[in-house]
Chain A
Amino acid sequence: MEQEERRDKMVERGTFRVKKGLAEMQKGGVIMDVTTPEQAKIAQEAGAVAVMALERVPADIRAVGGVARMADPEIIEKIMEEVTIPVMAKVRIGHFVEAQILESLGVDYIDESEVLTPADELYHIDKDRFTVPFVCGARDLGEALRRIGEGAAMVRTKGEPGTGNVVEAVSHMRLIMAQIRKVSNMREEELTAEAKSLGASLELIKEVKKLGRLPVVNFAAGGIATPADAALMMQLGSDGVFVGSGIFKSRDPEKRARAIVEATLNYDDPQVLSRVSRGLGDAMTGIDIATLDEKERMQVRGW
């Protein structure tokens, strides 16, 4: 009895297993950007596995311009009160004080995100110091492993946020998957050179070789606007999808949200995909990436 009582007191919080475990529970699901408690409710009822609480969706951040920062804690708290699914929120790259604030609010996941204006050109947040888990964007395997090395417990493609154009997310996911396949087939003595060329730690490269995948969950993000987009990312090997502007910038968010959830689950069933793609009304307008100047591209933020 005494032994049991002593055991009950020994509790470890914020272990890497507990952090990446939450992301593992989100696999096969859709995480949706929301800006109000009403939208959060719609997302939850549509079957979202989590919501991202924001002041503005990426498309509006793009339109408004200026410096984009962490959302007002009041907005985040109201969303947290409204839903029972996990709530995520974004901080600027390198802004560890915004992260401290979000951790104290009790958000379930922090996205150190290129959608906001970076606060530090050189360094990302030391994510191991936090109890709350982090998700970070990546364009290739090296970037993904650098973030994991800093303590990120979940990775997502950067894509090109707020464009409703899936082309960049596709290119990032394809590259990451191809690089993983390459590492998996390498001989041991080739791994050091690969670690050097990718700018990632040898230890993590070895883990990728052993597992044949990233050591954390890898979602797709940045430009997903339709059920077919979500299914495309899943067929390319994503563990799940983030939909930012794609839902609440469309004509019928409720219907589209449900359709994207079903498409993500049945990503390999064209019959279901054709059924859920019907009569959704207009998707968000979208932007051709070629028309964006280099400085308008959010994906180049961070390294």
Chain B
Amino acid sequence: MKVGVLNIQGAVSEHIDILEKCGAEGVPVKKKGDLAGIEGLIIPGGESTTIGRLIREFQLDREIIEFHKKDKPIWGTCAGLVLIAREIEGESPHLGLMDIRVRRNAFGRQKESFEGELFIHGLGEEPFTGVFIRAPYVTRTGPEVEILSSFQGKVVGVRERNLLATSFHPELTEDLRFHKFFLKMVGEESSPKVC
């Protein structure tokens, strides 16, 4: 299974390493046309302002929106969550795919960055280590959006059909469960549906 990782800037190799541990092929996506043959896309952590400006400049934004329209799964982590949100507090949105509103750097500056144990719907009872780095959280969810995880009453993990978004960084842990969860979404979409 080929999964793309948007390779503008940020934690790209970390996602690719974990995808490979899960038995999938991680493919860096940087230029127009790189999305051909890709079944799912991860938008990694990084600086959302930087990535947002550059995907427009390289006209990758249109391609990602088309990719989404073809029902291919997309997962945004941290900056990726900001990039796929329909609304960003105080700023204009980037890709505007998911019916959520987000607040950037919502837990504070770097000295407030933290690790905490999360419970995630669909990943079993075993807690998941959430690594939050100048992390955003979700302040509004649309009617179709399923909340997968909250921390301190803040929404930090969401799914809307083929879109997945997390405030935290599963790619900075050794835990493969979140990537496997996404790969399952990708697998379900790419295999023929049974009626």
Contacts and interface: CB of A to CB of B under 8 A. Distances in A.
Contact of B117 (A7, A106, A132): A7
Interface stretch (B67-75, B92-100, B104-112, B140-148): B104-112
Interface string B18-34: 00000000000010000
Contacts of B50: 29, 47-49, 85, 261
A25 B54 contact: no
Contacts of A15: 114-115
A11 B9 contact: no
B105 A84 contact: yes
A14 B153 CA distance: 22
Contacts of A12: 114-116
Nearest to B151: A8
B32 to A, nearest CB: 13
Contact of B115 (A17, A29, A50, A103): A17
Interface in B40-91: 45-47, 49-50, 53-54, 57, 78-79
B110 A11 contact: no
A22 B110 contact: yes
A94 to B, nearest CB: 21
A29 B49 contact: no
B47 A18 contact: no
B38 interface: no
B111 A131 contact: yes
B115 A49 contact: no
A21 B131 contact: yes
Contact of A28 (B12, B116, B172): B12
Contacts of B112: 13
Given A85-B47, A86-B134, A265-B8, A7 B127 contact: yes
B119 interface: yes
A28 B10 contact: yes
A161 B114 CA distance: 33
Nearest to B90: A84
Contact of B111 (A24, A25, A132, A262): A132
A25 B46 contact: yes
B143 to A, nearest CB: 24
A77 to B, nearest CB: 12
B14 to A, nearest CB: 6
Nearest to A239: B13
B179 interface: no
A255 interface: no
B114 A7 contact: no
Interface string A277-290: 00000000000000
A13 B114 contact: yes
Interface in A111-132: 131-132
A164 B54 CA distance: 26
Given A25-B78, A29-B9, A84 B151 contact: no
A126 B50 CA distance: 32
A11 B49 contact: no
Interface residues of B, number: 42
Given A25-B45, A28-B12, A29-B46, A265 B110 contact: no
Among B104, B110, B172, residue most surrounded by chain A Cβ atoms (within 10 Å):
B110
B170 to A, nearest CB: 12
B185 interface: no
A156 B195 CA distance: 57
A254 to B, nearest CB: 13
A63 interface: no
Contacts of A18: 113-115, 131-133
B9 A49 contact: yes
Interface string A4-34: 1001101111110110011011111100000
Given A27-B12, A28-B10, A14 B111 contact: yes
Given A17-B131, A25-B47, A86-B134, A265 B9 contact: yes
B111 A103 contact: yes
Interface of A: 4, 7-8, 10-15, 17-18, 21-22, 24-29, 44-45, 47-50, 84-86, 103, 106-109, 131-133, 261-262, 265
Given A13-B114, A47-B53, 7 more contacts: A7-B127, A11-B114, A48-B50, A86-B134, A106-B111, A108-B109, A262-B57
List the 7 closest pairs (A to B, CB-CB), nearest first.
Answer: A108-B110, A28-B9, A49-B47, A11-B114, A47-B50, A12-B115, A29-B9
16 contacts: A18-B132, A22-B110, A24-B172, A27-B10, A27-B46, A28-B9, A28-B10, A47-B50, A49-B9, A49-B47, A84-B49, A84-B104, A85-B47, A108-B111, A262-B54, A265-B9
